[in-house]
Amino acid sequence: MGFDPFAIGDNNTKMTILSILDRLGPISAKKMHSELRKEGISISYQAAHKALNKMLDKGIIIYEDRNFSVNPKWVSNMRMFISQLEKEPGSVKEVFSRLDSGKTVSFTVLSDIEMGYFVLDFAYHFSRRYNSAVSLNLLFMWTILPLNDKQYKMFKDILKRCSMYVTSKEDSTYDSIMKRHWEKAGAKVAIGVPDCASNCDVIVIGDYIINIFWDPGHLKRNIEFNRTIIDEKSLDYDGFYKILSAPTRMEFIIVKNNAVAESIRNKTLSYFK
């Protein structure tokens, strides 16, 4: 299993384990159980050991010489991940305000993850104002695997309020896998649609059209990686997260135009008839 920035979530025991390891350094499972109880966490030795093993499986901690310690690689990945999240293009409310006043909004994001999270926030904010269908016309299927519990709930809330139609130009095994994840959440998905996208991803949310222009080299690496996947078990999570968090430049251009948005949305819906 590769780096998962949301493996801890809101789990108080896991957070306390990290705090103890940060303070004391490598310690045994027996010592960890004792320290957890000192911290006021009522937990059995078996439960403490189970929590340690789960963190070990996720790569958050390592086990050497009968002691557990924080995995320095996980810490490094987390620092990089957090630094990328801090590079947001601006609040969604500010973007809506500029669009509603007739302006075109353009900005650059620096990773796949940052791109996906902005679109999620934008769609969530929109779905609370309106309830028209959302359409995503993609060069290849995006993943929803990095969403934490809160973000996945946001994603599900969007789907409760708005129908969502997703098309993908690619038709690889990877696209089929991600199609199942989206459909399980409630979206309608069609892959292998040659003319759904040309040189950029086009997303329509209400009257708003989001055009996302990929760096060609980064797009090529994504597609080449996706085509190496034989089945879900063969998915290389280390390689996957490296691509998702790799530094790149993706240009956003967002406009508000009812007629154009309706035309694109109707074209998307035609793939599902």
| Distance of alpha carbon 148 from alpha carbon 8, whole angstroms | 10
- Give 254's strand partners: 105, 210
DSSP per-residue letters across 173-205: HHHHHHHHHHHHHT-EEEE--TTS-SSSEEEEE
pLDDT of residue 194: 94
Please list the rounded mean pLDDT of every run of 10 residues in the chain (273 residues): 51 82 92 91 91 88 92 76 50 80 87 90 87 93 88 93 96 96 96 94 95 95 94 84 88 94 94 90
- Identify the structural domains of the chain with CATH numbers, from first to last: 12-80 (1.10.10.10), 87-270 (3.30.870)
| Distance of alpha carbon 105 from alpha carbon 88, whole angstroms | 14
| Distance of alpha carbon 48 from alpha carbon 45, whole angstroms | 5
User: Measuring CA to CA, which residue among 184, 144, 142 is closest to residue 167?
Assistant: 142
pLDDT of residue 87: 46
- pTM for this model (two decimals): 0.68
